[in-house]
Amino acid sequence: MLFILFPVFARYGEVSTASTADARRRKDLTEQKERLYDAIKDLDFEHRAGKLSDADYQKVRSDLVSQAAAIIAQLDEVPEPVVPTELPQQAQREAPAESSADVTPSEEPACASCGQVNPVGARFCFQCGERIAAPASCPECGAELPKEARFCTSCGVAMPA
């Protein structure tokens, strides 16, 4: 059942990028690098605890460091997997066209009761607990709306409570 439902619940592009040979190679090399780092930490601890002589410590540590350097060099040669940043074709048609002039930074809402500035998207004041007034404009398209609006009259997006 999991095999059948996985494509339904997987996010767009996640399955295809995770199965590439470069991604698998990169993952294997990263795991090897982490194991070598852990081995170096363990070796340092054992040396500080007095379980290894200075000569043995230096020899083993130099071997581990050279192996880690070789792994890092191999990691630099493997190209990073490209995660698709484009939306699927249907989402591109449905997405509203935005220009950089239309995008304005969201202002942090201030509580009407105590005046405390709260993070964007907060529904209640973290200082006094009062409900913060709904935005006067649509967060999706920027259309002006009355404060009691539950849906945008321009694009139909549900307004945050």
**Residue pLDDT, tens place only, 28-43:** 999 999 999 999 999 9
What sign has the CA pseudo-torsion 24, 26, 28, 30? negative
Distances from the Cα of 12 to the Cα of 3, 85, 93, 111, angstroms: 17, 10, 16, 38
Q: Which residues pair with 151 in a beta bridge?
A: 158
For residues 118 and 65, which has the higher predicted lDDT (pLDDT)? Answer: 65
Is 99 a residue whose pLDDT tops 50? no
Residues 106-115 have pLDDT tens digits of 456 677 778 7
Residues 121-159 have pLDDT tens digits of 777 777 787 877 655 677 778 787 777 777 888 888 887
Task: Characterize 4-13 residue by residue with b for buried, 16 or more Cβ atoms within 10 angstroms of its Cβ, and e for exposed.
Answer: eeeeeeeeee
pLDDT of residue 101: 41
